[in-house]
Amino acid sequence: METDRLYRLGERDFPRMVEILTQCFAKDPLYCHLIPDPEVRSRALPELFSCDIGQMMSDCQIYADSPDINGLIIVDDESEPYNPLEYYANEAFYSLKADAYLIREDLSLKTLFNFLRGGPYLDSRWTDRLEQDQRLHIIYLAVTPDHQGEGLARKLLSAVLEYADQKGLLTSLETHNVRNVSFYEQYGFQLFDTVCTDGELKQYCMIRPAAGKTLADHLSPEVLEQVAPGMEL
């Protein structure tokens, strides 16, 4: 994915990316569920996001609102070609690195077990059901607390969706905060499914057709049969 409306982030911006994600997701339902102890969570999140960003630097596109970097969006353009061997090797490396940290942080292995059990919430595997590679997936959208309410989330999201519309791509994302659902609905996203594997945490899976298209243009009849009741097809 390419856009000239946003500032492309690189290796030099790595510490700032980790800082923003740590700030914005410190109280996110997902990480509160996986790491209940606030002190452990405050230590663990920078390490975990370092692993996430390390992997995504080569596999995804990362943009900020401006060179000041007060907000960022991380996108995986599924329509672009990639090297499967390199992709899975990179994923395995950073996954093992994160697991090793969780073991060192909590020798009881409870935190590691939480992450292993929480796999369906962490890897966007629900998108396999879409059977669609002409798609953008938004992995993270984050704006620093001091700059929320200034329209930065709108700026970031609008630029990505403009690209998706130009290329005719379906856009997908997930959130674990029910309050975010109505925000994304303002941009044309619809709730495809709600994943709840352990009765506590919920993952809200959302998709948006490209401008001028409907979900029926993107998805097969078999997939359309799985959509949530009330979705506009």
Residue of higher predicted confidence among 162 and 87:
162
Between the ranges 21-30, 81-90, 197-206, where is the mean pLDDT highest?
A: 21-30
Kindly give the residue spans of alpha helices, DSSP state H, lying in 133-178: 152-167
Q: Which of 158-162, 197-201, 203-207 has the lowest mean pLDDT?
A: 197-201
pLDDT per residue over 178-188, tens digit each?
A: 999 999 999 99
Q: Facing residues of 204 across strands?
A: 175, 194
Amino acid at 222: E
Q: Which domains does the chain have, with CATH numbers?
A: 7-224 (3.40.630.30)
**How distant, in Å, are the alpha carbons of 40, 214, 217 from that of 201?**
19, 30, 32
The C-alpha atoms of residue 218 and residue 135 are separated, in whole angstroms, by 9
Q: Is the pLDDT of residue 86 over 90?
A: no
% of the chain surpassing 70 pLDDT:
99
Q: Report if pTM > 0.85.
A: yes
Query: What CA–CA distances, in Å, run from 127 to 110, 135, 169, 171, 195?
Result: 28, 10, 14, 10, 12
Q: What is the pLDDT of residues 97-142, one digit of tens each?
A: 888 888 888 888 888 888 887 776 777 888 999 988 899 999 999 9
